[in-house]
Chains A and B, each alone.
Chain A
C-alpha cells in the first residue's frame, strides 16, 4: 500500500495509454469468440449459433483458403530471403565508396521508396508495368524484341513482381543496420591487415563480412516472425482477380471474406489462426535472436 502511494504518479502516467490499449487491443481480443460461431452481426454474440471448430475445419477443407496459406508462405519466404541478401550485399559495396558525397547521393536515392506508401508505389507500378505501353514493357520490347510481359496479370510473374518491387522499396533502407554495424568495426583491424599485406578483397572476406554476421542473424531471425505476413498493403494495391490463384494472401482473403462477403466468423477464425502462429513464431525468433546474438528489445 505504501509502495502504491509513492508510485501513484507512475500509475497515472501509464493510465491514458492503458485505457487505449484495453479498448483497442484487448477488447477486440475478447471478440475472438466469434471464430467459434456462425456469427451474424444482427444476432450478436449471444444470439449467434455456436459451431465449435467448424470455421477452422472449413479453413483447411476449402481449396481456396489452403491455396491462400500456401501463397502467403511462398511470397513471405521469398521476400525474407531477398530482403536479407540484398541489403547485406549492398552494404558491403556501399562501404567501399571512399567519396562521401557519392555515398550520400546513392543513399539518398535508394532510401526514398521506403518512405512512400504502397498506394503511391502501387499507382506508379500499375502504370509502368502495364502491358499496354507501360514504361517497363516498352523498354523490354525495344531492347529484346519480345512480347510485353504480364507482370500483374500472370500468377507466376505476379509473385516475382511482388518480391522484386518489395526489394526495390526496402533494400536501401535495410542497409542502415548493416552500415551501423560496419561503422563500429575497430579501424585498427584494417590497419593490422594492411601491415600484413592483405588485399582489400581479403580484408572484406575476413574483417568486413564477419563483423556483419551478428546483426545478420538478428535481422534474419526476427524476420521469421513475419512468415505469415506477406505484405497486405503491397498485395492489396497490386493484385486483381486474374492473379488470385497465386497472389492472394491470408490478409487480403480475410478482407474479402469477412468485410466484403460478410463471413465474419470464418474471417475471425483465419485471423486467429494467423495471430496464434505469428505469436509463436515471434516468441521463438526473439528467443533465438537473444541466444544467438544477445539481442533484446529493452
Chain B
C-alpha cells in the first residue's frame, strides 16, 4: 500500500499544505480589498491596510449606499438580469426541442443547426453591430442590454443535449396519446428539465450581472447604466462626475475606500449565489461535454 510509505506521507503533507496555501493566495486580493473598504481614509491612503481593516469604519459603505447613481445602477442590473435571463431561457427552451430531433424526424433541423452554429464561429465584428444598434434606435434604451444577446447559442446547445438524454419513450407515449409537440414540450419535457433550466438560468444570470461593455457602448447617460458599467467608469476610468460628492465629503473619504466598497458590493451577488454556481456550472460543463 503506497499510502503507508514514508515518502508518500511526506508528499501528502507537502501537497496538502501547498494546495491550501495556493488557495489562500488566490483569495488574498479580494480579502485585501474587503479590508480596505472597512478601513479609515487616513489608514488606506497611507497604505497601512494589509489583511485586516485599520480603524474599522463603515463610512465608505454609507457613502456608496447614499449615492443615487449607484443605487439606480443596481436596479438596472437587477432588471436586466431578470428580464434578460427570462427571455434567453424561453428562447433556448423552445428552440432546443426541435433542434434536438434527429434529421430523419425533422428534415430542416440540419439547416437550422447550421444557422445557429454559424453565428458562433463568425460575426460582423464590433462596428457593424454598433451601426445596427443605431439603426434599430436601441441606443440609450434599456432593451439594448437584453435583446441583442437574447439568443444564446451555447445555452441552446446545452439544453438540446439535455433533451437528447430524455428517454424517447416518454415523448412517444405522449404523442401516441394525441398530444401535440407543444403540449409534449410543456407537460412532459418541462418538468423533467427543471434542473437543466436552473443551470442555464445561473449561466445567464452571471453573464448579465457581469456584462459592462454594452452599457458603456450604447448607454450614454450614467443613470441608465448597469452596475458593472458604473464600476467600470468610476473605478477603472476614474470618472468622478457621477460620484456626486462635495469637496468636503471627498476629504472625508478617500477614493480608495469608496472604490473598495463599490467593488465589493458589485461582487456580492456572485458571492451569495456562489455555492450554487460551483455545483451547477460544473454540471453545465458536463452537460455540454458528455454525449452518447
Q: Give residues in A with beta carbon < 8 Å to B.
A: 3, 7, 9-11, 13-14, 16-18, 20-21, 23-32, 34, 41, 93-94, 96-99, 102, 105-113, 115-117, 119-120, 122-128, 132-135, 138, 168, 172-173, 176-177, 180, 194, 198-200, 203, 225, 232-233, 236-237, 251, 254-255, 258-259, 264, 267-268, 270-272, 274-276, 278-279, 282-283, 296-298
Contacts and interface: CB of A to CB of B under 8 A. Distances in A.
Contacts of B50: 135
Contacts of B7: 199
B133 to A, nearest CB: 9
Interface string B230-274: 011001100000000000000000001001101100110011001
A contact face: mostly helix, strand, loop, or mixed:
helix
Contact of B127 (A34, A116, A119): A34
B176 interface: no
Given A102-B16, A127-B260, A298-B161, A117 B212 contact: yes
Nearest to A106: B23
B56 interface: no
Given A237-B232, A258-B126, A200 B2 contact: yes
Contacts of B212: 117, 119
Interface of B: 1-3, 5, 7-8, 11-12, 15-16, 18-20, 22-24, 26-27, 29-30, 32-33, 36, 46-47, 50, 90-92, 94-95, 97-99, 101, 106-109, 112-113, 115-117, 119, 121-132, 134, 136, 147-151, 156-157, 160-161, 180-182, 185, 206, 209-213, 217, 228, 231-232, 235-236, 256, 259-260, 262-263, 266-267, 270-271, 274, 277-278, 281-282, 285-286, 289, 291
Q: A-B pairs with the 4 shortest C-beta distances?
A: A271-B125, A133-B47, A28-B124, A31-B128
A297 B154 CA distance: 10
A177 B289 contact: yes
A32 B124 CA distance: 6
Contacts of B180: 9
Given A10-B101, A271-B126, 11 more contacts: A13-B181, A16-B94, A25-B119, A30-B124, A93-B15, A99-B16, A105-B20, A112-B271, A123-B235, A199-B5, A278-B122
Contacts of B228: 117, 119
A272 B27 contact: no
B121 to A, nearest CB: 5
Given A24-B148, A32-B128, A275-B124, A115 B232 contact: no
Nearest to A280: B121
Nearest to B100: A298
Contact of B2 (A111, A199, A274): A199
A177 to B, nearest CB: 7
A32 B286 contact: no
A3 B270 contact: no
Contacts of B181: 9-10, 13
Nearest to A218: B289
B28 to A, nearest CB: 8
A168 B157 contact: no
Contacts of A203: 2
B218 to A, nearest CB: 11
Given A106-B20, A124-B263, A13 B94 contact: yes
A10 B5 CA distance: 62
Nearest to A236: B213
A111 B274 CA distance: 10
Nearest to B286: A180
Contacts of B211: 117
Nearest to B129: A28
A271 B124 contact: yes
Contacts of A112: 26-27, 30, 271, 274
B25 to A, nearest CB: 9
A160 B185 CA distance: 50
Contacts of B125: 28, 32, 254, 267-268, 270-272, 274-275
A7 B108 contact: yes
Contacts of A98: 3, 12
Contacts of B256: 127
Contacts of B1: 194
Nearest to A265: B127
A107 B126 contact: no
B98 A119 contact: no
Contacts of B8: 199-200
Given A17-B156, A108-B278, A109-B26, A122 B124 contact: no
Given A31-B132, A259-B217, A13 B126 contact: no
A275 B123 CA distance: 6
Most-contacted residue by chain B among A32, A97, A123, A198 (CB, 10 A): A123
